Amino acid sequence: RTILSLGDFLQRLHTMKVLQIGGYSASLPYEKVENGMWVEIREAFHLEHILIRESSVTNNLVILRVKGCDHLVNLVPPSTSFQNLTNMVVSRCNNLKIVLTSLIAKTLVRLRYMKIKSCDRITEIVQGDDVVAKDEVITFRELKELKLVDLERLTSFCSGNCAFKFPSLERLVVDDCPDMKIFSEGKLSTPKLHKVERHGEACWAWKDDLNTTIQKLVSLPGMLAGVWSDDSGLQLEATTWFRKLLLPPSEKVIQSGVVARFVEFLTREDNPQLQLEAARALTNIASENTNVVIDGGAVPIFVKLLSSPSDDVREKAVWALGNIARSSPRDRDLVLSEKALIPLLAQLNKHAKPSMLRNATKTLSRFCQGKPEPPFDQVRPALPALAQLVHSNDNDVLRYACEALSCLSDGTNDKIQAVIEADVCPRLVKLLLHPLPFPFGLTPPLWTVRYIVKGDGFLTQCTGIAKEACRTISNITAGNREQIQVVIDAGVIGPLVDLLQNAEFFTKKEAARAISNAISGGTHEQIKYLVRKGCIKPLCDLLLYADPEIVTICLKGLENILKVGEAEMNTGTANRYFNHYARLVEAAEGFKKIEDLKRHDSNGICEKAVKILEIYWSCGVIGRGR
């Protein structure tokens, strides 16, 4: 029997900062530790006691790490003080049963990090049967992180009845501690702790409080047994447990085979509550493991559940199918190939609960999203329902319906024509001014209008729709710069410029108003964007029209573009010797048209033309060089 005591040795080293022992060799200093001592003992296989008797030297310890000491019986004597210890790690000490006595624990007022790992015989961290009274409180005042990992025999943090307070504890990891049934028997306070981690940060659980959570976490074998039992009550309890606590479920849970069992529970028409909990559990699993749910054969069963007599089961099936369809275009097409669309549309009826309408419309939108697009024939039946949904008073329903329509209209002319024939366009135009939370309520209708008014051939024959769309967009661009940016971001400027060139007169007029408003209220960068989209040439062309209003609109827009060119010339951000935008106007034959307007019948137009020429083409020089 070998007993190696470090007490006398440490007592003599009052100035020591770090002691590292590997086997029986020591090297110091190992690393500088300010205001305290760092002791690390590694692979000292025959070490049974670090200290045989109490020593004041432990008050200087800041960091204590003990690893791979298989014969270690205890760390220190039972009344040792660690009043300055901030970091404690104990691992692979397979003969150690207790880490701390309650007296030692009470001295750990500065401990911030504790990790106990892979110690086969440890049954509790703080000894529960020592001298601390039942009503006494142990407070780990500064402990922020506690890790208990791979402790096969650990039953609790403390089996005694004393109370524990962890006012700073924010992270607790409990992993591979199969016998841990409770955290502690006495009163427990963890105000900052809101989850218990296992299998890494991605997998965590929380149920009511710490003790309840620990009880549930270590119940995996029992819950698995419940899932596979023939007792409906146990099946429901276990399925609910998986659904509530494993967010998201770990690979270990998936590999246990519960997915197949949950899919089987989906078919239990005699037990709607079990169907519901199984659907919820599978939805949680699908959040990060969609393929597991698909491979388990859940999709056709979820489709069948859309006809369940239970409202809750139908709604959860809607939710699950939407999550699966969102995962990828391949998964979306799989859901559609299982004929999910028609029974989904059946949920969108006047008797449906608001939550069902929202979830079903959201799922419908996901059926329509993605690149490459879904086969149009498979989603075209949704158009009549969407034509009704865009009249909803629910903001979420409106947003999802508009998103679906924008996806369906993003494509070839036959798709756009189908959307137009569904008679959704007038309502979409009105929705452009709908007071939804900005910009989410505005953007989806703008996307759809962008596709519809883009000026492709026969589609521009829908003059009433195009004109009203442009008029409404002009009201938006008459707003602030943020609203103008939303129109830009929605890609509407390009189609507006196309209409400015190719549409019939009244639509051109409204498009010109929308463009001019954006130029008048926009930033320099926004105006330069409009110029890059080609607005100068059609604005110049419209100066030939007899309608004084459209001429005035175009002159105003051109004047503001020229102002930006002048500002850039004066600040030197562009060519310092000429107004670049004045030259673009000249290239578009705008200079001659503006000169002709000096003789216009309207005094206002005449004066505006003269002013523009004097400022930007003084002495008739193009671009007014310096």
- DSSP conformation letters of 46-88: T--BS-SS--GGGGGEEEEEEES-TT--BSS-TT---TT--EE
Out of 40-49, 229-238, 490-499, 593-602, give the one with best mean pLDDT: 593-602
Share of residues in the chain with pLDDT > 90 (%): 42
pTM for the full predicted model: 0.56
The whole-angstrom separation of Cα 104 and Cα 225 is 40
622 falls in which pLDDT band (50, 70, 90)?
Answer: very low
* Number of other CB atoms surrounding residue 261 within 10 Å: 19
For residue 609, what pLDDT is reported?
93
Q: Which residue has the tokens 């189609």?
A: 495
11 falls in which pLDDT band (50, 70, 90)?
Answer: very low
Summarised one tens digit per residue, pLDDT across range 197-223 is 865 555 666 777 888 888 766 666 767
User: Minimum mean pLDDT among 252-266, 307-321, 349-363: which range?
Assistant: 252-266
368 pLDDT higher than 80: yes
> What is the average pLDDT across 246-268?
78
Q: Enumerate the H helices of 197-271 as residue ranges.
A: 210-217, 220-228, 232-245, 251-255, 258-265
Is residue 57 a contact partner of residue 31, using CB atoms and an 8 Å limit? no
pLDDT averaged over every residue in the chain: 82
388 pLDDT higher than 60: yes
Say which residues have a Cβ less than 8 Å from residue 505's Cβ, sequence separation at least 6. 545, 547
130 falls in which pLDDT band (50, 70, 90)?
Answer: low
> What is the average pLDDT across 578-593?
92
Is residue 283 a contact partner of residue 320, using CB atoms and an 8 Å limit? yes
